[in-house]
Amino acid sequence: MNPIRLSVKFAAIEAPEPLDAAIPLFHRFMQQGLVEGLLIDVADYQHVPQGPGILLVGHDIDYGVDETGFVAIRKRQDGVSAADQFRDVLRMALGALQAMEADAEFRASFDPGQLRVAVMDRLHAPNTDEGAAVVESELAPVFAELFGTDAKITRTDRDDARAPVTLEIAVAGIDAEAVLAKLPPGSVPRIPYAAPQSDWDITAEELKELRDSGSDLLLIDVREQSEFDTVNLGGQLVPLGTLDLEIPELAKDAHLVVHCKAGGRGAEAVKQLRKAGFENAWNLRGGILAWIDRIDSSLPRY
């Protein structure tokens, strides 16, 4: 059975307080490419009582946080079986949980051992005994494989035949890492700051390697003076607006790495430099924030 939509929801141990905190979190997910999926926008539904809370809407997956838990909804998987969709969405959801844990500002926790799986497809999986049996027969082996045979599975949709077929799974002492290891790798590598910003990006790790190796590179900081004063990497300050004045001063064959706060201005700067004939100019993907998050967390984030 190939349903059009399948979701996994982890119960909240400690819901974010206020729920608002999920808005910047989801924006960071997008800005830094921290979770899988083609993500489109953040929708704030806090005004709806018992509503979906805050949603991170994507093309192929939605993520959501409300008072009761964290949900991932897989969609647009034409011709993919329920079992494979479940494996897929579980990996994405667990990945997002890890990204939340790693986030410095977001405070909430969810229990990967308390999950609810819903199949939203009234054509292929109607909420009838027959429909539910098909769902159970397809998903039960996957549950056993991933969670062991002790997992408790309960069908919780019986009070309303119009609701999607829903199974609740309780796994005592779940080891999320171990579960992740059993799942197929994602199509999108789950690396922070993975989204390209220009055609000439280098990562924070690559920059560190270059610097450690004593390579002769010129680091150019294209932010403003006040930002530079807040925190810097010892680069030469050339605000983006004055880059054109600086260009004639630079040697065409110099090895240049530009950075800004988060990579946007850096991408712009490297475009200008490349256009002006600098063939060894690069942009630090994710800017100084990526450096702080991944290389040197002692520096202040701003």
Partner 1 sequence: MSAITWKDRLAGQMDPDWEAEIDQFEAQVELRKQGKLEDKVFAETRLRRGVYGQRYDNGERFDGFATRQLPFADVPTKGPETLWDAPGMTRIKVPYGGVSPQQLEVLSDLAEEYSDEILHVTTRQDYQLHFVHIEDTPDLMRRLAAVGITTREACGNSVRNVTACPLSGVCKTESFDVSPYARALMEFLLGHPDVQDFGRKFKPAFSGCEQEACGLVQLHDAGFIARVKDGKRGFKVVVGGGLGAVPHQAHVLSEFTAVEDFLVEIQAVARVFARLGEKKNRNRARIKFLIAELGIEEFKRLVVEEIKTVPPDPRHTEFLEDLPVTGGAAPRPPQRLDGGAKPPGFDVWHETNVSSQRQEGYAVVTINLPLGDLTSRQGRALADIAREYVGDNIRTSVEQNMLLRFVSEADLPALYSALDVVGLAIPGAGTIVDVTSCPGTDTCKLGIAASRGLAAELRTRLATKSASLDDAVKNMRIKISGCFNSCGQHHIADIGFYGNSRGIDGRRVPHFQVILGGQSRENAAQYGMAMGSVPSKAAPEVVDALTEGYVQGREKGETFQEWIGRLGKRNVRGIIQPFMKVPAYDAQPGFYTDWSDAREFTIGDLGIGECAGEIVSLFGIEVMKAESQVFDAQCSLEEGDYEAAEDHAYRSMLSAARALVRMEYIDVTEDPSEIVTQWKTRFFDTERFFDRFAKGKFGQYLLDWHAKPVPSGDRANAARRVEEAQLFIEASHGCEARLAAEQAALEVPAGA
Binding site for partner 1 (CB under 8 A): 4-5, 23-24, 27-28, 30-31, 38, 40-52, 55, 57, 59, 62, 76, 120-124, 126, 130-131, 134, 160, 162-164, 195, 197, 224, 226, 239-244, 247, 260-265, 267-268, 271-272, 275-277, 287
Q: Cβ 262 to partner 1, closest distance in Å?
A: 4
Which is closer to partner 1, CB of 169 or CB of 262?
Answer: 262
Closer Cβ to partner 1, 124 or 211, answer by number: 124
User: Residue 166: helix, strand or coil by DSSP?
Assistant: strand
Of residues 171 and 203, the one with the C-beta less far from partner 1: 203
Cβ of residue 217: shortest distance to partner 1, in angstroms? Answer: 22
CB of 135 to partner 1, least distance (A): 12
CA–CA dist 294, 272 (Å, integer): 27
CB-nearer residue toward partner 1: 44 or 205:
44
Strand 165-170 and strand 152-155: pairing? antiparallel
The rounded distance, in Å, linking the Cα atoms of 150 and 153 is 9
Of 57 and 151, CB closest to partner 1: 57
Angle at 72 between CA 69 and CA 74, to 5 degrees: 155
262 contacts 245 by C-beta, under 8 angstroms: no
State the minimum distance, in angstroms, from the CB of residue 214 to partner 1: 31
Q: Please name the residues in contact with 213: beta carbons below 8 A apart, sequence gap of 6 or more.
A: none
Q: Which residue has the tokens 């993907």?
A: 285
Q: What is the DSSP letter of 184?
A: P
